[in-house]
Amino acid sequence: MSYLYAAYIATWAIHVGYLTYLLRRYKRLRAEINDLERR
């Protein structure tokens, strides 16, 4: 049973990690664009 949970947790950890990275990158790009527009 621990192998099953390990596989499912690993799957979601990879997805959540990647989505967090994507969200942070999106926010950073948005902030940079807003900064450029203000200038």
| Under rule CB under 8 A, residue 16 binds another protein | no
The CA-atom distances, in angstroms, between 12 and each of 7, 18, 39 are 9, 10, 41
Burial track 2-29 (b if 16+ CB lie within 10 A, e otherwise): eeeeeeeeeeeeeeeeeeeeeeeeeeee
If binding is defined by CB under 8 A, does position 30 make contact with another protein?
yes
Tell me how many residues contact another protein (CB under 8 A): 20
Q: Does 26 bind another protein (CB under 8 A)?
A: yes
Question: By the criterion CB under 8 A, which residues form the site for another protein?
Answer: 1, 3-4, 6-8, 10-11, 14-15, 18-19, 22, 25-26, 29-30, 32-33, 36
